[in-house]
Chain A
Amino acid sequence: MTGNDIVDITAAAVESNWKRTGFLEKIFTQIEQEYIDNAAAPTQMVWRLWTMKESAYKIYTRQFGGRFFAPQKLSCSLLNKNTGLVTINHISYQTITSTANDYIYTIAWPEACADFYSACFAIPGQHSTSQQQFIYEKLIAHYAGIQCADKNNFIVLKEKNNIPFLYCKKEKIKIPVSITHHGSYAAFTIN
């Protein structure tokens, strides 16, 4: 089981002004604010920490249910340039972050579950419904490919709270997936 989150740097620059008064204080702990203050590239650090929180939140809510908006409860520590740890209510998730020129992408997973596949890619178009379809098709093509199965056997569905899974029609099984999309970029993870 994994969670992931992507931020399109260009889209984020238009949509969010992280320098506005109060913004960082609402989201980040004191330690995280120090990471940002001391970062050579503070914008990238803001979105790295943000994607760490979001990806960990996605697993946490999948495991324990519920919904909440409490970014400070998901507390980040950085281990090295790419890896980190997010802790919430004494539960920790490991993270790995890829930083490209145009996007920042983080995957989080619980200790016991380090085996997963992830793909991150640019998506064409502007319309969110067709972009979503594009992501679903890529995910299904990947899984059908490794299973040597017919693509038509699979469909991406969402449970309550918008948690997605890949449904195998014939076998009637649900495979947890995590899907993220922002601006011109998207990614998925599957175990």
Chain B
Amino acid sequence: MTTEALMEKLKGIVKPYVKSEEGFKNMTENSDFLNDLKINSANLVDVILDIETEFDIIIDNDSMEKMLNVKAAMDIITTKLNEK
């Protein structure tokens, strides 16, 4: 999957939980889920569960620990997809 396609899918996943329209409009690889997109931390679990469903992967606790920004999420998804 291309980086652009992955980004589009991720945007669709985070959209329902985003509290900052501004942050979402300017979402890049450098965006932080909590500080920039203002996703509340309990909803970060929903983002992770939605990623698991969308990509049919399992995000283990070690990967989840790093899941604080778009770049980390994209790296983890790519790694898990390559392991399949």
Q: Is the CB of A23 within 8 A of B49?
A: yes
Alpha-carbon gap, A12 to B46, bound state (A):
13
Residue interface bits A51-74, CB-to-B below 8 A is 1, else 0: 000100000000000011111110
Alpha-carbon gap, A27 to B65, bound state (A):
11
Given contacts A69-B65, A73-B65, 12 further A-B contacts (CB under 8 A): A16-B43, A16-B46, A20-B46, A22-B52, A23-B45, A23-B49, A68-B66, A69-B44, A69-B66, A72-B61, A128-B19, A162-B35
Q: Find residues 1-57 in chain A having any chain B CB closer than 8 Å to their own CB.
A: 7, 12, 15-16, 20-23, 26-27, 50, 54
Alpha-carbon gap, A68 to B72, bound state (A):
12
Question: Is B41 an interface residue, CB under 8 A from the partner?
Answer: yes
Q: Is the CB of B42 within 8 A of A68?
A: no
Alpha-carbon gap, A69 to B52, bound state (A):
16
Q: Is the CB of A20 within 8 A of B43?
A: no
Q: Which residue of chain A has its CB nearest to the CB of B44?
A: A69
- Could you say which interface size class chain A belongs to? 20 to 34
Q: Is the CB of A12 within 8 A of B42?
A: yes
Using CB atoms and an 8 Å cutoff, list the residues of chain A in contact with chain B: 7, 12, 15-16, 20-23, 26-27, 50, 54, 67-73, 128, 162, 182
How distant is A131 from chain B, measured CB to nearest CB, in Å? 12
A selection of 14 A-B contacts at a CB cut-off of 8 Å is: A12-B42, A15-B42, A15-B43, A20-B46, A20-B49, A22-B49, A23-B46, A26-B45, A69-B41, A69-B68, A70-B61, A71-B45, A72-B61, A182-B40
Alpha-carbon gap, A73 to B42, bound state (A):
15
How distant is A161 from chain B, measured CB to nearest CB, in Å? 9
Taking CB atoms, residues of chain A closer than 8 Å to B40 are 15, 182
Q: Find residues 48-72 in chain B having any chain A CB closer than 8 Å to their own CB.
A: 48-49, 52, 61, 64-68
Q: Is the CB of B61 within 8 A of A16?
A: no
Q: Is the CB of B67 within 8 A of A69?
A: yes
Alpha-carbon gap, A27 to B67, bound state (A):
14
Q: Which residue of chain B has its CB nearest to the CB of A162?
A: B35
How distant is A47 from chain B, measured CB to nearest CB, in Å? 9
For A7, A69, A70, A128, the residue with the greatest tally of chain B CB atoms inside 10 Å of its CB is A69
Alpha-carbon gap, A72 to B62, bound state (A):
11
Alpha-carbon gap, A54 to B41, bound state (A):
9
Q: Which of B42, B52, B65, B66 contacts A16 (CB 8 A)?
A: B42
